[in-house]
Structure 1
């Protein structure tokens, strides 16, 4: 490649994957331009990790990635791995801080610092950034790509990287437009659905218990079989349920809902005791205070806001009956519901509440070694637009960095 005639690379999308792709291409000697439909780049980076930017995770096992073929992500995640990410940002000035669960954040605790150093690097590499460039048409003629904005502006390049994101968090600019562009170039789209999102439940008592949180275990049940399990702080909302374990399970729930299957959520409010131990503790409480009402007898044991709903779910009609009048069957029912409370999942919250998109461009149409399209020579795809999504905890940003790096590196050469 001649330095006087560098490869020109257009990157559509100024998110994490697009920025990494442009920086990598420029480091390889290409002349890179980012086209971003928003007023500024990197808006989603600022929102990650609750504004702290969960850069990556120390455990990048493929079990944390999903899609029709999660193994597709292996090459990118191996070639640009956790340590590569740490080194990349350390060289830009970001000191890493590893926290519980292998989550890595900038020591500053500010997502803005990550975007700041990325912007500085782009300036140093003379990367052109054009915002409010909403691309609605791409054409390939001979050895060049032509991208046209809705306002009529046109851009030309030898190589094109499509890193336009998915549909999650449309308030940050993700509206699925990249899927339409990929389709126009001959690619197929695996139907997208929201992931890392709250689940909606069909229960009448939710508004009475919204805001109630507890440390427990949640499982996704389909056809009476457990499909996924997570433990941590779980939170009831006005129309469903949230918290880190629920967000983690939402991908699996959404997958089965897409197939029109009945999905159940199993909650264990008391997950640190065996059923026998739990029954013994309850019996002891009731033996010591036989004249207490059943509802009041749980005071100091579980949160009082959830007591009425829990007892009704256990099949207790009179929640104010004396504990001395409980039958052995009722005792078992109460112990059972505390460890196996089932709710039908009716759906997920909308795209506006989702952190990531599940589904996207079918990965069997993309070369995993280079991320070049198998359908259009010179077209590369990176980030959330592909049918690869990760668990909560830095996995999706790592996929953005890794896929952006691979696409940028390979797009830089004619």
Structure 2
């Protein structure tokens, strides 16, 4: 079967590309290995689908600089060449045009008004049906053959029907590779897009999990498990701070999680892969400087000097934290030591722990639990601003398959929508200009 455009993958990027391409008059079809579209979308935003962030607006140079820090790529500036074409305003309009109004919750995170990820899939399903875009399910791409003559691409697949695998072949003039990265393998993202791109001459930049929980080596993690608190986390590499984020921090038996940890996890994973020494320091009182903390605690202990140290933290720290802090400070064998009897040496241990509690990072929770893949196909091999391959004319990449990933908070889905849209509009322009020259 022949189509003008074949799109490999019915994830976020592939869906945005298919709808846009059809609206621009391109005969498009999608090849999808799963039995339904957008499986990974259902897993985003705690089932609510955090599909973008208000801070992706670009009205001034300072906003562009701030946004560029939210996206990561070995080729500086590459993500901006796409996001400037399709940012937050275009995203809001795009979904409104499909019948999906958005709403904003905390920290600029935007969701469907229903707060249900299923709404996003339902709207895309309707959009594909309205446009008569075929989606060929249960079809895994095995190989791509590039020819000089028409048709340019022959896509060899395995299609499963009633648990029976059959070979199927499709042809197209243009091809979009939107096969995703390595995160959420249960949704069908197994890195096959990297293999396909590699066979076509593209280079893979080493991949690591991003927006992922961190495993730490610490004797008392079991006691800390279940604690959630507002703090600030710093990731340190070979003793130097490389990134800091404030927000909620979760303690688990395996290690650390929560928004603040997820934001710094990319740097931790990247340097762990290079066998650097990685630690995370947690600031339990980010609202106070070290001097202010000392003044606060000295005053507190001075007023309540008659109380036991273990009781002096009531109302200040999470109750489950206190026994562990006492162990770290070396006074756990003296549970009823009075505040007035604390030595300056012990007080300094407390001050250090409250502002710089250090945990050795040993690993991440892997791609299975990660929200994004860092690394991917080298963007220097793509045309900046169109996403067409420099190696294979007519081949475009979109979404997580390339070396672009964003921070926690809707930025990765924004990249998917933006790259899918830009690839489709660039192709439509190429087709139009080609027709004019004939």
TM-score, scaled to structure 2: 0.90
Q: Which residue of 1 aligns with 2:299?
A: 284
Residues 1:86 and 2:86 aligned together: no
Further displaced range: 362-371 or 318-327: 318-327
Does residue 199 of structure 2 align to residue 184 of structure 1? yes
In 1, distance between residues paired with 2:375 and 2:344?
Answer: 49
Of the structure 1 ranges 219-228 and 173-182, higher mean CA displacement relative to structure 2 is found in 219-228
What corresponds to 1:13 in structure 2?
Answer: 9
2:62 is matched with which residue?
none
| 1:301 to partner: Cα distance | 2.0
The corresponding residue for 2:34 is: 38
Q: 2:161 is matched with which residue?
A: none
Which residue matches 2:390? 374
- Which residue number corresponds to residue 3 of structure 1? none
Could you tell me whether the CA contact under 8 Å between 2:3 and 2:29 is conserved in 1? no
Distance 2:263 2:273 in 1: 17
State the Cα distance separating 1:345 from its structure 2 match: 1.0
Instruction: Give the structure 1 partner of residue 50 of structure 2.
Output: 54
Q: Which residue in 2 is equivalent to 1:22?
A: 18
Q: Is the 8 A contact 2:50 2:109 kept in 1?
A: yes
Give the unaligned 5+ runs of structure 1. 1-5
Q: Deviations over 1:362-397 (max 9, x none)?
A: 001111121111111111100000100001111111
Q: 1:346: which partner in 2?
A: 362
> 3-state SS of the aligned residue for 2:387?
coil
| Residue in 2 that maps onto 1:145 | 153
- Residue number in structure 2 paired with 1:231: 246
* Structure 1: distance between partners of 2:112 and 2:289: 41
Match of residue 107 from structure 2: 101
Alignment match of 1:135 (pick from 141, 146, 149):
141
CA RMSD of aligned residues (A): 1.7
Structure 1 SS opposite 2:69: helix
Q: Deviations over 1:134-167 (max 9, x none)?
A: 1111110124111111341111100110000000
Q: Is the 8 A contact 1:161 1:411 kept in 2?
A: no
CA contact (8 A) 1:209 1:236 kept: yes
Superposed displacement of residue 69, structure 1: 1.9
Is 1:263 aligned to residue 271 of structure 2? no
Does 62-71 or 152-161 show the bigger shift? Answer: 62-71
TM-superposed deviation, 1:300: 2.6
* 2: CA distance, partners of 1:271 / 1:407: 43
Equivalents in 1 of 2:247, 2:132: separation in Å? 45
1:338-357 C-alpha deviation (Å, 9 max, x unpaired): 01111111111021111111
> How far apart, CA to CA, are the structure 2 residues paired with 1:203 and 1:319?
22
**Are residues 319 and 231 of structure 1, via their aligned partners in 2, closer, same or farther at CA, if it must alter by over 3 Å?**
farther
Match of 2:130 among 99, 124, 130: 124
Q: How has the CA–CA distance of structure 1 residues 319 and 233 changed in structure 2, closer, same or farther, with 3 Å as cutoff? A: farther
Counterpart position of 1:251: 266
Q: What number of residue pairs does the alignment pair up?
A: 409
Q: Does 1:171 align with 2:186?
A: yes
Unaligned runs of 5+ in 2: 57-66, 159-165
Assess if the C-alpha contact under 8 Å between 2:405 and 2:412 holds in 1. Answer: yes
